[in-house]
Amino acid sequence: MSETPKSVAIIGANLAGGWAADTLRQKGFEGDIFLIGEEPDPPYERPPLSKDLLLHPDAMPKTLFLHDLDYYAQQRITLQLGVRASKLDLPGRRVELANGGQISADRIILCTGGDARRLSIPGSELPQVHCLRTLADSRAIAAGLAPGKSVVVVGGGVIGLEVAASAAKAGCKVTVLEAAPGLMTRVVTPEIGNFLLHCHRAEGVDIRLGQGIAAILGARAVQAVETGDGTRIDADMVVLGVGIDPADTLARDAGIATDNGVIVDAHCRTSVAEIFAAGDVANQPNPYLGGRVRLENVQNAQNQGAAAAEAILGSTAPFEELPYFWTDQFDLNVQAAGDTLHADQTILRGTLESRAFSVFYLDQG
């Protein structure tokens, strides 16, 4: 494993994959780089999909894409877009593509990301039922946002609340259904969840906690949703924001160890020495949280993509990512770093009422 490879294939033309390819070239790698992606677009930033692009779908920000297509040609990075990697031939060190093509590479980085969860409920196949994961998803949702339209968002996590805020700003009547007793419970404390709850309600968003969805009603188009207690809510569109599942099937089918994602060590290496993984799909050890975790955020995707590339080139520095996320909702910008959910002391500076405050979470400190 000490020799420098002559070729690297990166499966996933997303943020992690794009940063991996960039880092290889920036660190002096002269071999072949193949960047393979299912989407027709080159690597781009996902945060605008639930915010600016929903409100202004025709005003594509210049910063959305990591680079234009000319950059990849100049850097001798071979893009294979709009094609799925269907199989890993580990003995032959080949990536088999769904279009019948094959790519041989000495090293492979899996940046396959995650797939938006769908719900197996009546009506979930209707055309006005959306998830938000890709640029195409964002455009489809934006096309249905208009003043007076009724939008039901299922899920009160980060994506669900960002979509709810954007839809409300577009003049829609918005209802959020969250099965849990609070908002964004995976990443913030009940105190911050309640703060966000009041902010959304102040903007006219109807948030219903402890309410799941049982069915989506309509023959050929969405007309309403039915909640778990039988309540009917009129709807022209339903957006599902119920999380993602790691896209680890390709790895698992190849015999690579998986468990809630592709298992990697501190150097982004999988159970197969020549295969690495980074981004949303990677289940990594995290010294800050004291166990294994999949981090689903922009910073981890770009930093781990870069770390995987550096590991391939011989770096022995462990990848240690401080958990971090941010979200924009209405005029709010919320940022959190570290472990906010397991603290024995909380310090508040500022006031929640002012919407300008900092909260420090201390553990044995």
Grade residue 280 by pLDDT with cuts at 50, 70 and 90. Answer: very high
For the chain, the residue count is 365
Compute how many other C-beta atoms are within 10 angstroms of the C-beta atom of residue 40: 12
Predicted pLDDT at 163: 99
Predicted pLDDT at 164: 99
Name the phi and psi angles at 160, rounded to 5: -60, -45
How far is Cα 282 from Cα 111, in angstroms, rounded to an integer? 8
Strand 94-97 and strand 213-217: the pairing is: unpaired
Predicted pLDDT at 365: 61
- Model confidence over 205-229: pLDDT tens digits? 999 999 999 999 999 999 999 999 9
The residues, ordered by sequence, that sit 6+ positions from 33 with a Cβ below 8 Å of its Cβ are: 7, 8, 10, 21, 24, 25, 75, 76, 77, 78
Q: Which residues on neighbouring strands pair with residue 150, listed in sequence order?
A: 173
Grade residue 342 by pLDDT with cuts at 50, 70 and 90. Answer: confident
Share of the chain above pLDDT 90, in %: 92
CA 240 centroid distance within chain: 14
Averaged pLDDT of the chain: 96
How far is Cα 186 from Cα 258, in angstroms, rounded to an integer? 22
Say what the pTM is: 0.95
- Model confidence over 64-75: pLDDT tens digits? 999 999 999 999
For the chain, which domains are there?
7-115+244-312 (3.50.50.60), 118-240 (3.50.50.60), 326-362 (no CATH)
**Residue range 190-216: mean pLDDT, rounded:** 98
Amino acid identity for residue 235 in this structure: A
Predicted pLDDT at 2: 56
pLDDT at 351 over 60: yes
Rg (CA), the chain: 21
